């Protein structure tokens, strides 16, 4: 397990935001993009879950350091 930095999490958040924007754009393109949209949504869900876990670890470490 590696400890993520806040900077790395910020980079992940920007990437996730761009991915979500792409998913939204694909939603306007019809059935031809259905498989790509589903795959991108799956990746976005995994990224969001990992980002939340990483931020929680940073928060926990920060709180412990402040005690």
What digits encode the pLDDT tens for the residues 7-21?
A: 999 999 999 999 999
In a domain, 64, yes or no: no
Q: Please, what is the average pLDDT of the chain?
A: 94
Cα of first residue to Cα of last residue in the chain, in angstroms, is: 24
pTM of the shown model: 0.86
CA-to-CA dists, residue 37 to 10, 11, 18, 19, 42, angstroms: 24, 22, 13, 10, 9
Residue 33, token pair as written in the block: 């993009």
Q: What is the mean pLDDT of residues 60-66?
A: 91
> Residue 52 sits in which domain range?
7-58
Pair 19, 51: CB distance under 8 Å: no
Query: What is the distance of C-alpha 40 from the center of its chain?
Result: 11
In a domain, 25, yes or no: yes
In a domain, 24, yes or no: yes
Sign of the alpha-carbon torsion through 40, 43, 48, 49 = positive
């Amino acid at each position: 397990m590696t400890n993520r930095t806040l900077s790395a999490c910020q980079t992940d958040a920007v990437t996730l935001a761009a991915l979500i924007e792409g998913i939204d754009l694909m939603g306007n393109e019809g059935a031809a993009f259905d498989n790509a949209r589903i795959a991108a949504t799956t990746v976005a869900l995994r990224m969001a879950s990992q980002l939340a876990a990483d931020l929680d670890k940073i928060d926990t470490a920060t709180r412990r350091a402040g005690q």
